Amino acid sequence: MAHAASTPAQPDGATGVLVLADGTVIWGKGFGASGDAVGEVCFNTSMTGYQEVMTDPSYAAQIVTFTFPHIGNVGANGEDVEGKVESAVGCVVREDVTMAANFRSEQTFTEWMAANNKIGISGIDTRALTRRIRQTGAPNAVIAHSPDGEFDIPALLQRAQEWAGLEGMDLAQRVTRDEQQNWEGGYWTLEGGYGRAARDATPHVVAIDYGAKDNIFRNLVKAGAKVTVVPAKTAFDDIMALKPDGVFLSNGPGDPAATGSYAVLVIKALLEKDVPLFGICLGHQMLALAAGAKTTKMHQGHRGANHPVQRVGEGWGDTTGLVEITSMNHGFAVDGDTLPDAVEETHVSLFDGSNCGIAVKGKKAFGVQYHPEASPGPQDSFYLFEKFVGGLG
C-alpha cells in the first residue's frame, strides 16, 4: 500500500487535509461537505465570482485554489449558479470563510458548499501552494474533510496516486445535457433578474453542450439569437435537421483530444457544409483539431479573470494589436506551431504567448480560448457574440 513519507504531524483542530500524489500532506480546517474527493489541483486568480467558478462545468474533476484570500463575503444564491451538473469537487482557501455581507445572499458559502456536496479547506498557505503549482505543474490530489479529525492518510495517498489524471480523459459526456433543450433564459439585470429569451428571434443558433456555462447561452440571446442546446454527442444529421443558421461549440472539461474522438468528425462535417461556427475554450480547441492543428496539456493552465490577450493577424483593421482583459479556465491549449496554412491565429496570450484564437480561412468559423461571457470577469470580449450572431444569415 502507498504511504506518505515524512507526513507532518496533524495539528490540533485540523479537520481538513489535502494529500498530493507525491506524498505531500497539507493540513487545514475543513468546511462544506464531509468526505473526500480526488482531482487535479489548480489555482484561480479571480477576486470575485467564487460561486460561478465552483459551478463552471469546465472545472469538473478539479480542486480550485483561490489566490484571493477572502472567500465567502457575498455569500451564495441561486442566481449565480453557472451549471447544475458536475463541476469543481472542492476548493482551498487562505482564511476562514468570510461571513456573508451582501443583499443578494441566500446562504453562507459554507452552507452552500455542504448543500452541493463540495469539500473545502481553509487555513492553507495558498501563496505557497500556487507557487508550487507554477513550478512543478498541477498535481493530482485528494481533498478530505472529517469533522472529527480522523483520516486514513495512506489510503488517501493511494487514491491520489492511482487516479489517472485529466490527460486522455473525456469529461464532456459526464457534464453535457441529456437531451435537446430550447434555451429560454435571458440576460440578468439587477432590477429584474433573468429575462426571457424570444423564441421567435432570428437567427437560430444550435449550441453543442460540452459542459457549457449558462451565461454563454444568455450572451447569445443578448446578441440577438434564438438558441437550441443539444448534447455533446449529437450527430451531424440531427444538428442539420434543426436548420441552424450557425453552430456554437461550447466550453467544457477534460482533454480535447479525447472529446474530439467523436466531436471532431461532426465539426469537420459542419465545416465542409460551410455552416458558421463559433467555439469557446474546449470548443475552440476542437475546432482547431478539426482544422488540422494539435492540442497540448499545459504546465499549469490559465485560470482567472485578469488574463491579457492581444488581437493579431489580419482582419482587425484599426484594432489590430488591441489588448483585451479576459476570463480564462483551461488546462489544455491549441499548439500554435501546428496551425495549418488554412488557419489564421487571431489572438495570443500576453502572459506566455500561447494561442488564444483562430479563424478558418474562407469559412465563417472562429474560436477563442478564453470565456468572453465573463461570469465572472471583465466584459471586454462581448463583441465576439455580436460578431458571430451578426454574421449569420
241-267: pLDDT as tens digits = 999 999 999 999 999 999 999 999 999
Residues 145 and 222 in one domain: no
Of 162, 194, 213, the one marking the end of a domain is 162
At residue 116, what is the residue type? N
CB-CB contact of 57 with 86 (8 Å): yes
Question: Which of 365, 354, 358 lies closest to 339 in space, CA to CA?
Answer: 358
Q: Please report which helix (H) or strand (E) contains residue 387, including its range.
A: helix 383-390
Residue 3 has pLDDT above 50, yes or no: no
Clarify whether 345 is annotated catalytic: no
Residue 121 contacts by C-beta under 8 Å, 6 or more apart in sequence?
16, 17, 18, 26, 28, 29, 30, 31, 90, 91, 92, 93, 143, 145
State how far the Cα of 168 lies from the Cα of 108, in Å rounded to an integer: 36
Residues 260 and 337 in one domain: yes
CATH code, domain with 320: 3.40.50.880
Residues 158 and 177 in one domain: no
Report the residue count for the chain: 393
State how far the Cα of 143 lies from the Cα of 60, in Å rounded to an integer: 14
State how far the Cα of 117 lies from the Cα of 106, in Å rounded to an integer: 17
Q: What is the pLDDT of residue 2?
A: 43
State how far the Cα of 380 lies from the Cα of 324, in Å rounded to an integer: 6
The residue annotated as part of the active site, out of 145, 302, 330, 371, is 371
The predicted model gives 210-226 an average pLDDT of 95
Q: What is the pLDDT of residue 5?
A: 52
Mean pLDDT, the chain, as a whole number? 95
Residues 96 and 216 in one domain: no
Clarify whether 371 is annotated catalytic: yes
The residue annotated as part of the active site, out of 82, 91, 145, 281, is 281
State how far the Cα of 291 lies from the Cα of 183, in Å rounded to an integer: 29
Residue 55 contacts by C-beta under 8 Å, 6 or more apart in sequence?
80, 81, 82, 83, 84, 87, 88
Residue 202 has pLDDT above 90, yes or no: no
Cα angle value 37/117/128 (rounded, 5°)? 50
Residue 1 has pLDDT above 60, yes or no: no
Q: Report the SS3 class of residue 2.
A: coil
For 241, the grid coordinates are: 435537421
pLDDT category of residue 6 using cuts at 50, 70 and 90: low
The b/e string for 76-101 (b: 16+ C-beta within 10 A; e otherwise) is: beeebbbbebbbbbbbbbbeebbebe
State how far the Cα of 58 lies from the Cα of 301, in Å rounded to an integer: 12
Residues 178 and 151 in one domain: no
Residues 199 and 152 in one domain: no
The residue annotated as part of the active site, out of 40, 52, 324, 373, is 373
CB-CB contact of 266 with 235 (8 Å): yes
The predicted model gives 32-36 an average pLDDT of 98
Residue 138 has pLDDT above 60, yes or no: yes
What is the sign of the dihedral through the CA atoms of 244, 271, 374 and 58? positive
Domain that holds residue 292: 172-390
Of 162, 184, 210, the one marking the end of a domain is 162
Give me the half-sphere count of Cα atoms (radius 13 Å) on the Cβ side of residue 111. Answer: 11
Clarify whether 91 is annotated catalytic: no
Q: Please report which helix (H) or strand (E) contains residue 204, including its range.
A: strand 204-209
Residues 208 and 138 in one domain: no
Beta bridge partner(s), residue 366? 278, 359
Backbone angles phi, psi at 283, to 5 degrees: -60, -40
Burial of 116 (0-12, 13-18, 19+ CB in 10 A): middle
Residues 137 and 177 in one domain: no
For 318, the grid coordinates are: 484599426
Residues 273 and 371 in one domain: yes
Q: What is the number of domains present in the chain?
A: 2
Residues 94 and 238 in one domain: no
Residues 283 and 353 in one domain: yes
Burial of 356 (0-12, 13-18, 19+ CB in 10 A): buried
Report the percentage of the chain scoring pLDDT > 70.
98
Q: How far is CA 286 from the centre of its chain?
A: 15
Question: Which of 309, 233, 242, 230 lies closest to 275 in space, CA to CA?
Answer: 242
Q: Tell me the per-residue pLDDT of 39-92, one tens digit each, with 9 for 90 and over.
A: 999 999 999 999 999 999 999 999 999 999 999 999 999 999 999 999 999 999
Residue 167 lies in a domain: no
CB-CB contact of 176 with 58 (8 Å): no
Residue 10 lies in a domain: no
